[in-house]
Amino acid sequence: MLSPMAIQTWFITGSSRGFGRSLAIAALEAGDQVVATARKPEQIADLVERFGDRVLPVALDVTDAAAAAAALDAARDRFGRIDVVVNNAGYANLAPVETAPEDDFRRQFETNFWGVYNVSKAALPVLRAQGGGIVVQFSSIGGRVGGSAGLGSYQAAKFAIDGLTRVLATETAPFGIRWLVVEPSGFATDWAGASMEVQDVPPEYEGTVVAFNGRRRDSVNAGDPDRAAGILVRVVKSDHLPTHLLLGETAARMALDHSRRQTAEAEAWQAVSASADFGAEYPVELPAASMG
């Protein structure tokens, strides 16, 4: 058990299953206190039975900004402060952008981006008033690399989360608020199972969306969410907090490959980029096709 001074209070969205549940348990096993939010808080009843009053279950639909603010107020009223806010709630449905129903595309974005926005914004006055804290934003390796056919809304939201978080980190640095974007690869959760609806895909997209869905079904999700949760608890409690944390060997490999390709392309096109400025040499030769 940690000393009372070292005990942290976590506020975790989407705590009923997947990463959120694993992280809630890991934090509680580390001696911390957890505000475990979910659309159906009765699904967290077993955590209350196991860990007692160190768990506060709270009903929360993250797309409701007022509810997010009320949940954070309830957390502070119960435990006095909030040390770690974790935006974990999210889901994905699979369909081509062209044929995906717009209302479904928007609903996904409401949860996956605006839910993060709502909770992050509501947490700011709490963290600022207490002199700091940590916000953990769950993204995915797709939020860095992108290009997964059929996941247009989900990956667009993850890219948006990264952009928002970079701005927030700059704006709130003077207040002692720190930010961590988590980018997992495939993990043994139900994200790609019961939580995902695979919509009708027209034959024109068999080579992209259908093919990706087949690879997704056949792949082995090597990531252990309990191990990932343990890593996150250790990272949050360490003196060094990275801006981004890749989880899973696939995520690390994909990120490195992507960065190398981006760097090579930027270098190949650097002279063309510079030629757009007043006074620069213009025009310049375009790079060979093999370079770009």
Q: Which of 139, 140, 148, 153 is catalytic?
A: 139
Q: Which amino acid is at 266?
A: A
The residue from 16, 120, 140, 154 that is catalytic is 154
Q: Give me the catalytic one of 15, 16, 120, 158.
A: 158
Interatomic CA distance for residues 286 and 207, integer angstroms: 32
Cα–Cα distances (Å) from 211 to 133, 164, 202, in that order, read 43, 32, 12
Name the β-bridge partners of 182: 138, 245
18, 40 Cβ separation under 8 angstroms: no
Q: Assess whether 40 carries a catalytic annotation.
A: no
Neighbour order of strands in the sheet with 84-87: 55-59, 33-38, 9-12, 84-87, 133-138, 177-184, 244-247
The verdict on whether omega for the bond into residue 101 sits within 30 degrees of 0, i.e. cis, is: no
Is the CB of residue 55 less than 8 Å from the CB of residue 48? yes
User: Is 117 among the residues known to form the active site?
Assistant: no
Quick check: is 121 catalytic? no
Q: Which of 226, 188, 183 is nearest to 25 (CA)?
A: 226
Report helix, strand or coil for 181: strand
- Catalytic residue positions, numbered: 139, 154, 158
